[in-house]
């Protein structure tokens, strides 16, 4: 029969798991929301630029 107390005393955590956990949690990785925000920023910039260009073509450009 197993003696659980004895087995628990023999237990030593794996250092590989600790190292892998550190590497995962300490790494800053862009997620989907970061990419979506970046795309929205680019779309807004393009939209503003296009609006300014169309105002210039229509003679509505502000001096």
> Could you tell me the pLDDT band of residue 49, with boundaries at 50, 70 and 90?
very high
Q: How confident is the model at residue 3 (pLDDT cuts 50, 70, 90)?
A: very high
d(CA 55, CA 32): 35
Task: Report the alpha-carbon distance of residue 49 to residue 40 in Å, rounded.
Answer: 14
Tokens 């029969």 sit on residue: 1
The per-residue pLDDT for range 19-32, each reduced to its tens digit, is 888 888 877 777 88
Number of Cβ within 10 Å of residue 38's Cβ equals 11
């Amino acid at each position: 029969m197993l003696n659980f107390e004895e087995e628990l005393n023999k237990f030593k955590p794996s250092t590989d798991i600790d190292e892998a956990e550190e590497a995962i949690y300490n790494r800053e990785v862009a997620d989907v929301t970061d990419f979506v925000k970046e795309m929205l920023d680019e779309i807004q910039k393009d939209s503003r630029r296009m609006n300014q260009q169309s105002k210039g073509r229509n003679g509505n450009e502000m001096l």
